[in-house]
Structure 1
C-alpha cells in the first residue's frame, strides 16, 4: 500500500468520524417513554396522565427547539416484573431520553436501580411511596406528583384545628395505605388529637365494608379518616352513606377517595366528605380554567388530579429541555435541568425541593358539595408550599 493511499484512507476515517459524531449528537426527535398502566384496573389513570401530558406537548406544536417530541408507550400492567422488561426496551432499544411513570409505588421501586444505573431521568407522575424521595432518592428521579406523607400530614393538623378531637383510621392493608394513615396520625396527635382505633382492610378485595363501618361507628370518634381508590372508594362511600355514618361523625380522608373520576358513580353519597389533595377542579385561577377547558374540549371530561400530574410532567419536560437549548445528549445535565424547573400550573406554583427531588406544592382541603351538575369539590383551605420530609435523602 503506497503512502498516498494511506493518506487518503486516514482523511476518510477522520471525516467519517466527524460526520458520525455530528449525527449522533444532533437529535431531531426527543423520545419520551411512558411506563404506565394501559390495561387492567388502573388503565384510566394511565390514560389520564398520558392524555394530559400529550396536551401539554400539543400546546407547543409537539416541538422543543425544533426537535419533534415522540411518546413511546410501555404498559406496566401494574406489575413490577413487566415494568422492568418494558423499561429495558425503552432504554436500550428505543433509546428514550426521559421516562415518565409509573402509577404504582411497587413498580417505581422496581424501576429505581435501572434508572439510576443507566442515568435515564425518570419523572414520577403518581407513585407516592415516601422512600422514593427519601432513602431511595436519586438526582435521576424527580417526583412531580406527591409523597404519601405530603398529602395526608396537613389534614392531621387541619382537622385538629377545626375542633376534631378524636378519629378512627380506615385504609387498605398495604404500604401506601399505612403510610397515609401514619402521616395523618403523626400530625393529628401532635396537635392534641387522639386515635380511637384503626383498621386495615384486604387490599383490592373488600366489597362489604359493613363490619368495619360498625366498628368505626361504635368507636364514638368525632371523625373517620380514610383512604380508598377505584372500586373500593366507590363502594366505601356508598356503603358509609347507607350506613348513616355521616350522621354521627365527619367523613374525612385522603382526597382520592372522592376523586372526580369516582364522583359520577358515588353521586350524592359523597356529599359532605372532607378531603385533601394537590389538585381539585374548582381552584379559581386563570391557568386552571384554561387547562380544564382545553382538557374537556379534547377528551370530553373534567380533568382529575391524575391528569394534572401528567400535564405538569409535560410542562416540566418542556421547560427543562428549553433550558438546555434542546440538547438532551448529556443525561447528567438533563437530570439537573429537570430538578431546577419551576412552573405555575393548574394546581398552582410548583418547584422541586433540591434536598429530595420531590415537588413542593399547595395542598387543598376540600368538601364535596352539591353542584348544579352533581357533586363537586369546594376548596375550604389552602396549605401553601408543602414539602415532603426526605430526612434520609442525600443527593
Structure 2
C-alpha cells in the first residue's frame, strides 16, 4: 500500500469536503449525465429464442432512429438470457436490479419468470415494462405502480375468440396448450365467451412446454369427436404442433384455431402449407394498412435481411417508443421515478398496431383491435389475413387498485 503523506491526506480531505459541500445534487447530476441503463430480460436460447430476438431487434430499430441518444443521454442495453426458465430468469432479474442498477427493465417472455420477479421489482421500485409475458394477475390482483405492459394480458387475444369460434366455427372444441401459467390463462379466457355462446369443451390437454412429440395428444383429439381445436403454442412448440397436426391427417376434418402466436411470422416459414387455413386472434398482422405499420415493416425488413416483423417485434417497438417518449417528457431524468412513472402512464402514440395507450386502471395496454386472422396465400407467401376484428379490448383489471 502506498504511504499517504500529510499533503496527499489534506488534498484528499479537501476534495471530500468540497463534494460534501456541493451537496447530493452534484452526484445526481453526474448520474444523469451517464447512460440510461435498460435491462433486457428475454430468452435468447430455448423454445422461445425467436421471440426474444424479434422483441430485441425492434427495440434496437427504434433506438437507432434516435441515434442511441435520448434527451442528451446515451441508451445502454444490458441483455440477459432467461432461457425461458423461471429460476434462471429470476436470478438474472436480481442481477440487473442489484448489480447493474438498471434505470428501466423490460421483458420477460415466460409468465412464470414474470410472476417470480414481480415482488422484487415492486419492492425495489424498479420500473418494469413487460414486453411479452401475459400473466393476467399482473394487470389484476398483482398489479403494481412500477409495472407497465406493452404486449397483452393472456386474456386479451383469447376472450374475443370464444364467442367468435362458437358462432363461426364449431360448438364443440378441444382445448390444448402448454402446461404453465400462460396456457391456463388463455384457455380460461376463451371459455369465458365460448361457453355462454353455447359452446361445449369436449376435452382439455396440457403438454409440457418444449414438447416435441404431440402424437399422444393428437390421438386424443382425433378420438374426441371435436369439430375444432383451440390452441395456444408459440415458438418452436407452434411449429411442431401445427406441422404434426397436418401430418396426422387432422386438417381434413377438424378446424384448427387458436391464439395468434400459433401462426406468427416467426414460425410461419417453418410451418409452411401446414398452417394454411388456421384461424387465430391477435392484435397485429404485418398486413395492417396504416402509415406507421407500412414504414415499420419496410424499415424492419431493410435492417434485418428481409425478415417480416411479427407481433413480438411490435411489442419491442412499442416498448422502446414508450421509453423514448417518456424520457423526453422528463428531460432524461431517471432519478425522479415518480415523474418517470407518470410520464410512462401518459404516453400515447400511433403504433404499427394502431393507437397505443395504457389503461390507467391497470397499466396494461388497451388493444386497439383484436383481429381474427386466417392464414392464406398472398403475394410473397403465407400471411395472417384479417377476416374480422373486435375493437378496444381492455383487460378487466379485476382487483387492481393503483397506485399499488
- Give the TM-score of the pair, scaled to structure 2: 0.90
- Which deviates more from structure 2 when the two are superposed, residues 278-287 or residues 88-97? 88-97
Aligned equivalent of 2:7: none
Deviations 1:218-253 (A, max 9, x none): 333332111122333222212222233222232111
Deviations 1:37-62 (A, max 9, x none): 22333222222111111111111222
Deviations 1:339-390 (A, max 9, x none): 2211211111121111111110121110001223322110112211111122
Unpaired runs of at least 5, structure 1: 1-7
Unpaired runs of at least 5, structure 2: 1-13
Matched, 1:384 2:391: yes
Aligned equivalent of 1:56: 62
Q: Do 1:280 and 1:377's aligned partners in 2 also have CA atoms closer than 8 Å?
A: yes
Q: Do 2:169 and 2:228's aligned partners in 1 also have CA atoms closer than 8 Å?
A: no
What is the alpha-carbon distance in structure 2 between the residues aligned to residue 315 and residue 345 of structure 1?
9
Superposition pairs for residues 266-345 of structure 1, below 5 Å?
266-300=271-305, 301-345=307-351
Q: Do 1:217 and 1:248's aligned partners in 2 also have CA atoms closer than 8 Å?
A: no
CA offset at residue 9 of structure 1? Answer: 10
Aligned equivalent of 1:246: 251
CA offset at residue 18 of structure 1? Answer: 6.4
Aligned equivalent of 2:137: 131
Aligned equivalent of 2:380: 373
Q: Aligned-residue CA RMSD in angstroms?
A: 2.1
Matched, 1:91 2:86: no
Query: How many residue pairs are counted as aligned between the two chains?
Result: 387
Q: Cα 1:327–1:219, aligned 2, differ >3 Å: closer, same or farther?
A: same
- Which deviates more from structure 2 when the two are superposed, residues 339-348 or residues 142-151? 339-348
Matched, 1:174 2:171: no
What is the alpha-carbon distance in structure 2 between the residues aligned to residue 320 and residue 73 of structure 1?
21
Deviations 1:88-109 (A, max 9, x none): 3322333221001111111111
Instruction: Report the 3-state secondary structure (helix = DSSP H, G, I; strand = E; otherwise coil) of the residue aligned with 2:251.
Output: helix
Q: Cα 1:337–1:275, aligned 2, differ >3 Å: closer, same or farther?
A: same
- Give the TM-score of the pair, scaled to structure 1: 0.92
Q: Do 1:139 and 1:336's aligned partners in 2 also have CA atoms closer than 8 Å?
A: no
CA offset at residue 170 of structure 1? Answer: 1.6
Q: Cα 1:228–1:33, aligned 2, differ >3 Å: closer, same or farther?
A: same
- Which deviates more from structure 2 when the two are superposed, residues 125-134 or residues 368-377? 368-377
What is the alpha-carbon distance in structure 1 between the residues aligned to residue 46 and residue 163 of structure 2?
36
What is the alpha-carbon distance in structure 1 between the residues aligned to residue 272 and residue 345 of structure 2?
40
Instruction: Report the 3-state secondary structure (helix = DSSP H, G, I; strand = E; otherwise coil) of the residue aligned with 1:379.
Output: strand
Q: 1:348 aligns with which of 324, 347, 354?
A: 354
